[in-house]
Amino acid sequence: MSDDAFPPAADPAPPAGRPGDQRYDPRAEARHLLRTVRSGALATLTADGDPYASLVTVATLPDGSPVLPLSTLAVHTQHLMADPRCSLLLDSAGVGDPLVHPRLTVTARAVKATAEERAAWRSRFLRRHPKAELYVDFGDFSFWRLDMRGARIIGGFGRINMLGASDLVTDTAGAEALLDAADRSLDHMNADHADALKLYATALCGAPDGDWRIVGLDPEGIDLGWRDSTLRLAFPARVADPAALRRQLVAWVDEARARSA
């Protein structure tokens, strides 16, 4: 198996199991897919009301809302400008029969970033997709958030559940200090603690050795990225400020070292 092609790893202490596990939790599975899948199929409506699907790259905002950079030259963007109703299919992929792997279809309304929101949404997206810096600042590009209304999660054969918006959205209330310091925290970890990030990925997630970096942070966990892969490390308890984040990152280093030993 190559370093850049491996099945998604489970969280070190997952809040839910995968299909076949008695602890399987569709809500946790849906949130996991939102945070780890890097591209999906966006379905919009034509002027005649016909469905139209296209491939898009995806990141998430702190509350879990998908965020996409879309060009006004693209047909799907023109559709959204006329009718914001849409859906997004996120597929976990993997080896073997694609129908045995979890996938999530989110129904939503697309909302274009304001001038004040653009910088923060851009930063979140580029951490996940750094090569997109080549084009996201072109004049025809804007960032769009999907205001999630509900979802259908299929965790494999026989694992089908309907979810509401509250099942998908991460509560960020009271975590303003954490989110205000997020860019500084991530830059510090990526610049000064690469060994710790490698330990998280290899010892806690069972991923291959690589140049893993933190590409996302929210009150429920962190996202690690390398090449085309993303891992999710869920916090054992909600984190709302930089001090609590620091304690958890240190605790994970200790746990990873113990596992490695």
* CATH number, residue 18: 2.30.110.10
Question: Do 14 and 81 have their domain in common?
Answer: yes
User: pTM of the prediction?
Assistant: 0.88
Residues 132, 144 share a domain: yes
Answer whether residue 11 shows pLDDT above 70.
no
- What are the C-alpha distances in Å from 142 to residues 7, 23, 85, 145, 244? 32, 40, 17, 10, 34
What percentage of the chain carries pLDDT values higher than 70?
92
Pairing of β 159-164 and β 141-156: antiparallel
Do 41 and 93 reside in the same domain of the chain?
A: yes
CATH number at residue 247: 3.20.180.10
What does the pLDDT read at residue 18?
A: 46
Last residue of a domain, one of 170, 200, 218: 170
pLDDT digits (tens, 9 = 90+) for 204-235: 999 999 999 999 999 999 999 999 999 999 99
Residue 88 has pLDDT above 60, yes or no: yes
Confidence label for 117 from pLDDT (cuts 50, 70 and 90): very high
Count of domains in the chain? 2
- What Å distances lie between residue 220 and 102, 144, 206, 246, CA to CA? 21, 23, 20, 14
Domain of 198 in residue numbering reads as: 171-261
CB neighbours of 91 closer than 8 A, spacing ≥ 6?
Answer: 37, 40, 41, 98, 101, 103
130 and 187 share one domain: no
Q: What pLDDT was estimated at residue 21?
A: 56
